[in-house]
Structure 1
Amino acid sequence: MGFPGVWMTESESVVYRVVPKCACSTIGQIMYYSDHGEFFDGDIHDAKDKMHKWAHDYSQPVIEQNVKSHKSYAFTCVRNPYTRILSSFFDKICGIQRNGQRYRGKMVPLLVQKYGIEVGGDDGKQEFDQIKSFRRFLLFARDTIRWRRPMEPDIHWSAMSGHVSTFIVNGGRYNKIFWTEKFNGGMDQVLQSIDSPHAVDIKAIPRFNESEGHGPKRAHPVEDYFDDLSMHLVYEMYKRDFDLFKYDFHDPSNKMPVGEIDLDEVHAKLGE
């Protein structure tokens, strides 16, 4: 299986396990800058060189050797499950992607037909009942995660603990897991722990939100999207995420963590 979703600086100063919808564009650009003194011109997900990625065949032996020998500082970043699934809905389901198409081609028409989801028309710009459509999307997301029907779960809404665990199961070990909600402090700790060719001032770094503007703006507070049934579905999908990464399941309006992440607990429970 190897190390899917792992990025590493060319200098091997740091290793990062990507978790989709958790500031990965910004983190990737920071890593790129720390090596080359400039940002990648475009979406960092499109970078084909100057950074090792597991998706590139030539990078795989370098990443594998590094990770298995715990040579470099390794980290990842997580996010509140409520805001993450909402973000996935507006970006991937309602939004038009960089290529001008709907995400994953026939998926959105399938959702419209089978689950009665509205997505704001052909361009994602029209008014629609966001709360009703999002709650129907939650049913679909749960079906993909629990029964793998009508399709396999997508990386943007599959549980964070699943992404985080592949790194551990295959022999990696995290030095740090931090929250997007406390991004500057967490990323700064990573940068202070590594030696990189170029210094990074975390306060001066722009945010590279590549999904910004893809879909309609969220029209309501986070908590309005989640009734009792929705919360039950979210807990069914993301129980481990709430428990391990210390988020508040009982209050969707509280996006902040409620405890400290215990790295030993994460490695023990996700390394099984």
Structure 2
Amino acid sequence: MGYPGVWMTESEGLIYRVVPKCACSTIGQIMFFSDHGRFFDGDIHDSATGLHKWSQDHSKPAIENAVRHGNALAFTCVRNPYARILSSFFDKIAGIQRNGRRYRGNLVPQLAQQYGVDVGSLENGFAFDQIASFRRFLLFARDTIRWRKPMEPDIHWSSMSGHIGTFIANGGHYDRILFTETLNDGMAQILQSARTPVAVDLSRVPRFNESEGHGPKRAYPVSAYFDDLSRHLIWEIYKDDFQLFQYDFDNPDNKMPLGEIDLDEVHAKLGC
């Protein structure tokens, strides 16, 4: 199976397991800068040089060797599950992608037909009932994860533990797991430990979000989107994410983790 979703600096000091909707664009750009002293011109997901990626055949031997010998600092990053699934909805379902089109072509029309999801349009200023449409999308997301119908689950709303577990199951070991909510502090510790070729001033690093400004903004507090049924669905599909990564299920408006992550527990539970 290898190491899907893994990126590594060309200097081989940092290995990162990408988790979508968890600051992955910003983290990738920081890694790129730490080797080259500049940011990648464009979306870091589109880079074909300057950063090792498992999806690039020429990168696989280097990544395999680094994981096997434990030479690089390996890390990943997580985010509050409530905020993450909302971000997935507003970016991938309600938003327009950087190519000017809807995500995955016919996905939004399919959601409109089968689940009654309405996301408005650029022409009407993305006017729609955000709460009702999000809850219907959440039912769809649960169906894809639980029963893989009407499609396989998308990487942007698949569980974080599922993404993170593939690295462990194939012999990898995380040195750190960061919180998106305290990204600068976490990346500062990573960069201090890894001794990268180029120093990175994190206070000057912008947040890289290619979807920003291409869709509707969230109009309500996080808790407004989650009634009892929605919270039941969230627990059903993200129970491990809440428990392993210490997020507050009882208060959707509390985006901060309740405690530190137990790396031994993560490796034990996700390495099975």
What is the CA distance between 1:39 and its match in structure 2? 0.5
Which residue matches 1:264?
Answer: 264
Q: How does 1:238-249 map to 2 (within 5 A)?
A: 238-249=238-249
Which residue matches 2:224?
Answer: 224
Deviations 1:85-115 (A, max 9, x none): 0000000001111111110111111000000
Which residue matches 2:158?
Answer: 158
The letter of the residue matching 1:153 is P
Q: Secondary structure at the match of 2:7?
A: strand
Q: Check if 1:56 corresponds to 2:51.
A: no
What is the CA distance between 1:267 and its match in structure 2? 0.4
Aligned counterparts of 2:228 and 2:124: Cα–Cα separation in 1: 28
Number of residue pairs matched? 272
Q: Which moved more, 1:36-45 or 1:206-215?
A: 206-215
Q: How does 1:41-190 map to 2 (within 5 A)?
A: 41-121=41-121, 125-190=125-190
2:96–2:214: 8 Å Cα contact kept in structure 1?
A: yes
Q: Secondary structure at the match of 1:193?
A: helix
Aligned counterparts of 2:126 and 2:157: Cα–Cα separation in 1: 24
Deviations 1:201-231 (A, max 9, x none): 1112111122212320001111100001000
Deviations 1:121-149 (A, max 9, x none): 26683311000000000000000000000
TM-score scaled to structure 1, two decimals? 0.98
Q: Secondary structure at the match of 2:178?
A: strand
Which residue matches 2:33?
Answer: 33
The letter of the residue matching 1:259 is G
Aligned counterparts of 2:179 and 2:8: Cα–Cα separation in 1: 20
After the TM superposition, list the runs of 4 or more consecutive aligned residues in structure 1 that deviate by more than 2 angstroms: 121-126
1:181–1:256: 8 Å Cα contact kept in structure 2?
A: yes
1:96–1:123: 8 Å Cα contact kept in structure 2?
A: no
* Structure 2: tracts of 5 or more residues without a match: none
Alpha carbons of structure 1 residues 18 and 46: separation in structure 2 relative to 1, 3 Å: same
What is the RMSD computed on CA atoms of the aligned residues?
A: 1.0
Aligned counterparts of 1:249 and 1:124: Cα–Cα separation in 2: 35
Alpha carbons of structure 1 residues 123 and 271: separation in structure 2 relative to 1, 3 Å: farther
2:126–2:215: 8 Å Cα contact kept in structure 1?
A: no
Q: Secondary structure at the match of 2:194?
A: coil
What is the CA distance between 1:237 and its match in structure 2? 0.5
The letter of the residue matching 2:15 is V
Q: Secondary structure at the match of 1:75?
A: strand
TM-score scaled to structure 2, two decimals? 0.98
Which residue matches 1:210?
Answer: 210
2:13–2:71: 8 Å Cα contact kept in structure 1?
A: no
Deviations 1:11-69 (A, max 9, x none): 10110000000000000000000000001011111110011000101101111111122
The letter of the residue matching 1:12 is E
Aligned counterparts of 1:112 and 1:47: Cα–Cα separation in 2: 33
Q: Which moved more, 1:211-220 or 1:108-117?
A: 211-220
The letter of the residue matching 1:212 is E
1:124–1:216: 8 Å Cα contact kept in structure 2?
A: no
1:7–1:18: 8 Å Cα contact kept in structure 2?
A: yes
